[in-house]
Amino acid sequence: MPRLDRHLSKQFDIKRSDARRLLAQGRVQVNGITARDISQRINRFSVVKWDGMTVSSVTARYLMLNKPAGVVSATVDNKHSTVIDLLTQPWKDQLHIVGRLDFNSTGLMLLTNDGQWSRRLSLPASHLPKHYHVTLDKAPSRDAIDAFRSGIYFKYEGITTRPARLRMLGELEAEVDLTEGRYHQIKRMFGQFGIKVLSIHRLAVGPLILDPLLNPGGSRQLTAEELASLAQHSHQASS
């Protein structure tokens, strides 16, 4: 995060001593509060004003999207439609994706222009659980269910997955909770037992649940309450 005096100096091509003079005169506000500390740190979402004129202002964006099948979890793709293509907002090209879903998987995706926020949610230490509904071509055995709980070895990477929760809802329907997101992880875990996954739908990320009013391809901004709940969950998990 840059210092405020350096930011002003760069924005207006003035000497840093002149920027400090502006601060001393009380002519600069950050997020509506008069700033006088030359070493004050700001970020890209800080609203900085000089004599009431906005110097810089970028709005933080946090969206949930109900991804349909047949859409790529990417910002740009030369062959297929992307989740960004589903959006109509003029600032959509500022966004990036927080956690991906496979091409034919559906459900909750998060998008933002706040890199610090997305990194925090993606850190392994956050242990942020992702909740999925899956349909299968045949029922898993008790051994398969127990293996999910213990972790499954992936020979190609030479790693064992973190313990996952598998709960059967019916003979061919299940709930799966993961705290990581390896390549085609759910399909590969079931594949170890000769089971084919027919569909994957993500219902929740941590405490954040997919809005049932969002049709496939629909999106909305997260509420203040949802953002606070995610922040609290990630803080508790990492402490």
- Active-site positions read 102
Residue 108 vs residues 79, 116, 133, 218, 239: alpha-carbon distances, Å: 23, 20, 11, 10, 26
Task: Report which of 209, 200, 194 is spatially closest to residue 174, judged by C-alpha positions.
Answer: 200
CA dist., res. 90 & res. 98, Å (int): 20
* Backbone angles phi and psi of 28, in degrees to 5: -120, 135
CA dist., res. 31 & res. 49, Å (int): 8
Q: Which two tokens stand for residue 96?
A: 């990036």
Query: Cα torsion at 156, 140, 133, 238 (round to 10°)?
Result: -50
